[in-house]
Structures are given as structure tokens and as C-alpha cells.
Amino acid sequence: MASSIGNEKSVNPVLRISQLDALELNKALEQLVWSQFTSCFHGFKPGVLAHIEPEVKAFLWLLLWRFTIYSKNATVGQAILNIQYKNNLSQTEKYQPLSKHQKLWYLIFTVGGRWLEERCYDLFSNRQLQSVSKIKHYINFGAGLLKLCGLVNFLIFLQKGTFATLTERILGIRSVFCKPQSVRQVGFEYMNRELLWHGFAEFLIYLLPLINVQKLKLKICSWCFPIANLPNSDKTLATHYKVCSLCGEWPTMPHTIGCSHVFCYYCIKSNYLFDMYFTCPKCGSEVHSLQPLKYKIEMTELHV
């Protein structure tokens, strides 16, 4: 019954980007499974899995193969993207599931091939015998040849859009959509809003460093709380000099900029270094010269 339903399903070709996304999802899943598995051995002696790591990985990939390719004709990445494998060796254009031989050979080429590569590297890496070096040379040559064939296959895949990996081309299995892909009505209102706000944020990021916020703040304060210039008598200066015009506290090392107002040395120096066109927030006078206050004012006199 299942086979008859599968024969009635039509074949829908898969985009190249979807096939590549499925491969990347498969790699991400394998990394996730391996990281979760190794986290179970954090409390053990370091390197407890080092000697049997290829076998452990092969066992985990075998379990993934059993519950993905063997049972559903699709990897995890393909299942997420609504893709599955089709037996391309069949003469009909209708969907044909993979045969058991194709599934077993897929297991041998993927899981067995990676296990053999890792195990051979461990066996021959520390041995210097002449016979072993020849075997290692042949193995490296074969691995390089397979990578070259994989590169050629990938270039052909980019041109024709079928058989993303060399294993798929050798076994004659092709990626197809599980269900027909209907034409979707895509609205661009949300995308337009995102692009608009993104452009506005980029504009603000470019504009804000050019705005002198401190000077703007002082200008607004001077407009909201205007104070007329006071006569420069000793009594008036003594009364007026008891607070810093910037911080509003008792002036520490009081200095003047040429007007009748006083500032802490660090307040006026930091603002002047930040803005060379700094003006007094009280009267708007420009900085003519930064001079220490010449009047000796006692705190006891000012608090009276």
C-alpha cells in the first residue's frame, strides 16, 4: 500500500540552495550530537574517549542513519526542508524510494568512509616503517583523488543542480521535494518596515557622533534659565562665585573664562577639551582665557 502511494507521487526538483542548506543542517546536527555526548564524560579522566573516538562517532552516525535514511529516505536536514531521496536509477519519473542496497551502500560510503579515514590516520601517524609509509602514501593519494572527484562533482552540481555529493552521484540517489511546492503569496510590508528602520538606525549611528550633545545641553539650559550679567564688584563676585556654573557644587580650584561666572578646574577643562568652541552656559561668553580665580574667598564668609 505504501509503495503504491509512493508511486503516485510526482517528482519535484529541489533548488541548489535547499540541497546545500540540508547538508549544512546535517553537519550542525552531527556536531550537536557529538558535543552532547562528550559532555556526559566531563567528570571522567581527560582523554577517556581518545582511543575509541572513531568507533564512537561511527556508532552515533549509525544510529542517525538508522532513524533517518533507513526509515524515512531523508536526512534530518532534508526532513526539515521537506526534502527526501529518490531512487534515480528507476526508469519511471514517479517517486521511487531508495532500495535497501542503496541505503546500505550509503552507510558504507558516509559512515564507513569517515571511520576508515580517522582510524587509518591514527594507525599510520606514529609509525616510520618503510612498508607502512608506502601504505600511508597510497591512502593519502586515494583520499586526495576522492577530494578531487568531489570538487568536480560539486562544479557539475552547480551547473546542473543534481547530485550535491559524490555519494549521491555514485549511488544514483537524487533529492526531491516530498510534497508539491505551491506558489506562496509573499507580502513585503514587514520587510519594508525592517529596511526602513534599519536605514534610519544607520543614519542615526552616523549622525550622533557629529552632534555636540554637551554644547546642545548647555545651550538649552541657558535658554531655559537665563541669568543676566552681574556687575564685577567684590561683594557680587564673592556671592556669585560660591557655586560652579557647570556642576552646581562648591568650586574646586575655581577658574574663570573671562566672564563673571566661575567653574571648577576639572569641569571647565574637560568641557573645553571636548569642545574648543565651548561657551559659558549662563551668559554665553566664549572662552577667552582660562585663568584661576584671583579673589580669595573664605567658605565661612560665603555661608553667612
Same domain, 111 and 253: no
Q: Are residues 95 and 173 in the same domain?
A: yes
| Structural domain includes residue 3 | no
Are 111 and 58 spatial neighbours (Cβ–Cβ below 8 Å)? yes
For residue 193, give the 3-state DSSP assignment. Answer: helix
Q: Could you report the per-residue pLDDT of 224-269, keeping only the tens digit for each?
A: 765 444 444 444 555 556 778 778 787 788 888 877 788 888 888 8
Residue 91 falls within a domain, yes or no?
yes
Residues facing 13 on adjacent strands: 176
**149, 181, 213: which is the final residue of a domain?**
181
pLDDT of residue 205: 87
Longest dimension (CA), the chain: 109
CATH number of the domain to which 284 belongs:
3.30.40.10
Residue of 287, 282, 285 lying closest to 228 (CA atoms): 282
Domain boundary, last residue among 181, 196, 222: 181
The domain total for the chain is 2
Residues 91 and 174 in one domain: yes
Whole-number Cα distances in Å, 76 to 24, 67, 113, 302:
10, 9, 20, 81
Burial 60-71 (b: 16+ CB within 10 A, else e): bbeebbeebbbe
- Residues 100 and 173 reside in one and the same domain: yes
Indicate whether 249 and 170 sit together in one domain. no
Domain that holds residue 101: 16-181
Say what the pTM is: 0.55
Task: Answer yes or no: do 21 and 149 share one domain.
Answer: yes
- Supply φ then ψ for residue 49, to 5 degrees: -100, 0
In a domain, 34, yes or no: yes
Whether residue 96 is contained in a domain is answered as yes
Judge if 146 and 252 occupy the same domain.
no
Q: Where are the alpha helices (DSSP H) in the chain?
A: 2-8, 16-39, 53-67, 69-72, 76-80, 100-107, 113-124, 130-160, 166-171, 189-207, 213-224, 234-240, 265-274, 299-302
Per-residue pLDDT of the chain (304 residues; tens, 9 = 90+): 344 444 445 567 788 988 999 999 999 999 999 999 988 888 888 878 888 888 899 999 999 999 999 999 999 999 888 899 988 888 777 888 899 999 999 999 999 888 888 887 776 666 665 666 777 778 788 888 989 999 999 999 999 988 999 999 999 998 988 776 655 555 677 778 888 888 888 888 888 777 767 667 766 766 776 544 444 444 455 555 677 877 878 778 888 887 778 888 888 888 878 777 777 777 777 777 777 876 555 444 444 4
Alpha-carbon distance values, 180 to 18, 76, 91, 281 (Å) = 15, 19, 21, 71
Check whether residue 147 and residue 33 sit in a common domain. Answer: yes
**190 assigned to some structural domain:** no
With beta carbons less than 8 A apart as the criterion, state whether 301 and 285 touch. no
Residue at a domain's end among 164, 181, 198: 181
Could you tell me if residue 104 is left (phi over 0), alpha (psi between -120 and 50 degrees) or otherwise beta? alpha
Calculate helix-pair angle for 16-39, 130-160, nearest 10 degrees: 140
Same domain, 32 and 98: yes
Q: Tell me, yes or no, whether 58 and 166 share the same domain.
A: yes
Please check whether residues 123 and 256 belong to one and the same domain. Answer: no
Strand partners, 173: 87
Nearest-10 crossing angle of helices 100-107, 53-67:
160
Q: What DSSP assignment string belongs to 215-283?
A: HHHHHHHHHHS--PPPP--HHHHHHHTTS-TTT-SPPSS-EESSSS--B-HHHHHHHHHH-TT-B-TTT
